[in-house]
Amino acid sequence: MTKLVAGIFFDLIGILSYVFPGFSEIIDLIWAPISGLLLAKMYKGNTGKIAGVLGFLEELILFTDIIPTFTITWIYTYIIKKEN
């Protein structure tokens, strides 16, 4: 559950760029690599690597910040793949 709570928090950070309309691109440039690294560290193996790349790209592509990458990765890992 810790990863889920952390993931929701990190997804909210990613969405914060919509709160600051002239600075959103700068915020996304700063948050994109951090998001990718956090995903790769939180989820080991191929899941973390793929999620890290997708999270990085999701933050850089315009209008995709709303996608909750951390939460989706948690759902995939613990509900779809059913890891402990």
Containing structural domain, residue 19? 2-80
pLDDT(84) > 70: no
Check if the beta carbon of residue 13 is closer than 8 Å to that of residue 69. no
pLDDT tens for each residue of 6-17: 999 999 998 887
Dihedral sign (CA 19, 15, 60, 10): positive
pLDDT tens for each residue of 42-82: 999 999 999 999 999 999 998 898 899 999 999 999 999 98
Number of domains in the chain: 1
pLDDT(26) > 90: no
Please tell me the pTM assigned to this model.
Answer: 0.90
Give the mean model confidence (pLDDT) for residues 26-42: 95
